[in-house]
Amino acid sequence: MNVWWRTLLTIMRAKAMLRRNGPIPPRSVGRVRLTTLPTDIDLLMHMNNGRYASLFDLGRFDLLIRTGLWDAMNERDWYAVVASETVTFRKSLQLWQRFTVESRLYGHDDKAVYQIHRAVVGGEVYAEMIVRARFLRKTGGVVNTDELFAALGRPDDLPPLPGWVSDWADGAALPSTRAAAPSLWD
């Protein structure tokens, strides 16, 4: 339940910053300061690996709102979904430890936007997640990235994706929702 409260607080804070300062450029780094709570830890007394994804969502909300994309999506009945993600851990976050979730748009292909999220303590990366997110229409269909940047009223100034990111996305992909995907084990 605490992630709900954190989500609401993050959304309210991001909307206030958007009203006060206007939209930030898509390549900006968003920062959300957090503390590891008792509900975030596992039996080893450090942040549970599954909790990182939920807390990195806060960085995604912050960035979507502050770039103006959140409002553009709502006006057009679009929504974002995570298509794939992978996280790498360096150090453990301990109970009551303060950290910052840093989030940035990393690049895109024709169907998805890639984001990097980091858990950072004192300027040092503790964990990093790459996320491939797709934007969908509530009426059905995918929003391509040209349409996405046009809705923002901003140029697409994101750099080309590094080859390893494209390879990762291809390697991690599951079959389309229209294709068969039986659970077979070798």
Please give the pLDDT value at position 1.
56
**Boundaries of domain holding 69:** 3-172
144-150-156-162 Cα dihedral, nearest 10 degrees: -10
Tens digit of pLDDT per residue, the chain (186 long)?
A: 578 999 999 999 999 999 999 999 888 999 999 999 999 999 999 999 999 999 999 999 999 999 998 999 999 999 999 999 999 999 999 999 999 999 999 988 888 999 999 999 999 999 999 999 999 999 999 998 888 888 877 666 777 889 999 999 999 988 888 899 999 998
For residue 121, being part of any structural domain is answered with: yes
Beta bridge partners of 109: none
The total domain count for the chain is 1
Please give the pLDDT value at position 176.
85
For residue 89, being part of any structural domain is answered with: yes
Distance between CA atoms of residues 128 and 162, nearest Å? 16
With CA atoms as reference, report the closest residue to 104 among 19, 24, 29, 175: 29
For residue 179, being part of any structural domain is answered with: no
For residue 127, being part of any structural domain is answered with: yes
Distance between CA atoms of residues 106 and 160, nearest Å? 9
**C-beta separation of 100 from 34 below 8 A:** yes
For residue 125, being part of any structural domain is answered with: yes
For residue 139, being part of any structural domain is answered with: yes
Please give the pLDDT value at position 154.
65
Please give the pLDDT value at position 153.
74
For residue 180, being part of any structural domain is answered with: no
For residue 67, being part of any structural domain is answered with: yes
| Residue 60, domain CATH | 3.10.129.10
Please give the pLDDT value at position 155.
60
Please give the pLDDT value at position 146.
85
